[in-house]
Chains A and B, each alone.
Chain A
C-alpha cells in the first residue's frame, strides 16, 4: 500500500472536526446526533489506520467494539429524541432548555 497512513489520519481529523462543528452549530437534535455518529466514525477510521500502521489487529477489534457501542447508543439516543419530541412537538435543542418532563 503506497498511500501514506497519515493521509487517512488527516481525513479522519477533518471528519471529526466537521462533526464537532455540527454539534456546536446545528439546532436540530437529529442533526446533532448524526454529527456525533460522524465523529465516532472518524475515530474508527483513525483506529483502523493505526492498526494498519502498527501491524496489529487490536485497533480493528477496538473499532469493532466502538461500532457495537454506537449501535446501542443510537437506539437509546433516538428513543430519547422521540420522547422529547412527543412532549414538546419540536426537535430543536433550543426548545429543550429545561429537561423537566
Chain B
C-alpha cells in the first residue's frame, strides 16, 4: 500500500468521525475541540492533494485564528452549558438527518456519474501546475490573474473589522443604558 494511500485511509475516517463527534457533543467546548481536530485532518488532506501552502493557511487561519475566536466567544458568553433536547418543531431531528443523508447520497451519486470512483489525478502536477514549488506557483496565479480580487479582499476585511467594532460599541452603550435603568428601578424600590 503506497504511503499516501495509507495516510488517506488513516486521516479521512478521523476527519469524518470528528465531524460526527462535533455534531453529537452536547457541550459546546467539546464540539469546538473536535472541530479543531477536523480542520487539522482536512489540512493533511490538502497536503495529500499537493497543496502545502493551503495546508499551512488552513492550520494558521482555521485551526489557529478562527477556532481561537470561537473558543474565546464560548468562554466569554459562558455558554458551555448543555442544550435542551426538547424539539420545538416536531420531527425536526428526523427530517434534518434524512435530508442530510439524502444530500450525501446525491452528491456521491453525482461524483460516480461525473468522474467515476476510479478517476486518478494526473501524475505530473509538480511539473505543470506546481512548477517551481506550490507557494511560488500559487503566487504567480494569484498576483497575475487575480490581483484585483486580492486587493478587494483587503476592503472586505476592513469592512468586517469596522462592522465588529460598530456592533460591539453600540451594544455596550445599550447595555449601560439598561444597567442604568435597572439601577434606577432598584433605587426607587429601596
Contact = CB atoms under 8 A, between A and B. Distances in A.
Interface in A61-79: 61, 63-65, 67-76, 78-79
A79 to B, nearest CB: 4
Interface residues of A, number: 72
Nearest to B85: A27
Chain B interface SS verdict (over half):
helix
Contacts of A55: 121-122, 124-125, 128-129
Interface residues of B, number: 90
Chain A interface SS verdict (over half):
helix
Contacts of A16: 103-104, 107
B57 interface: yes
Contacts of B69: 74-75, 78
B115 A10 contact: no
A68 B186 CA distance: 47
A9 B89 CA distance: 33
Interface in A1-44: 1-11, 13-22, 24-28, 30-31, 33-35, 37-38, 41, 44
Contacts of B39: 41
A41 B53 CA distance: 15
Interface of A: 1-11, 13-22, 24-28, 30-31, 33-35, 37-38, 41, 44-45, 48-49, 51-53, 55-58, 60-61, 63-65, 67-76, 78-83, 85-86, 91-92, 94, 101
21 contacts: A6-B111, A6-B112, A6-B115, A6-B118, A14-B104, A15-B15, A19-B19, A28-B79, A34-B70, A38-B19, A45-B42, A51-B51, A53-B115, A55-B128, A60-B54, A64-B53, A64-B54, A65-B153, A69-B153, A74-B70, A78-B69
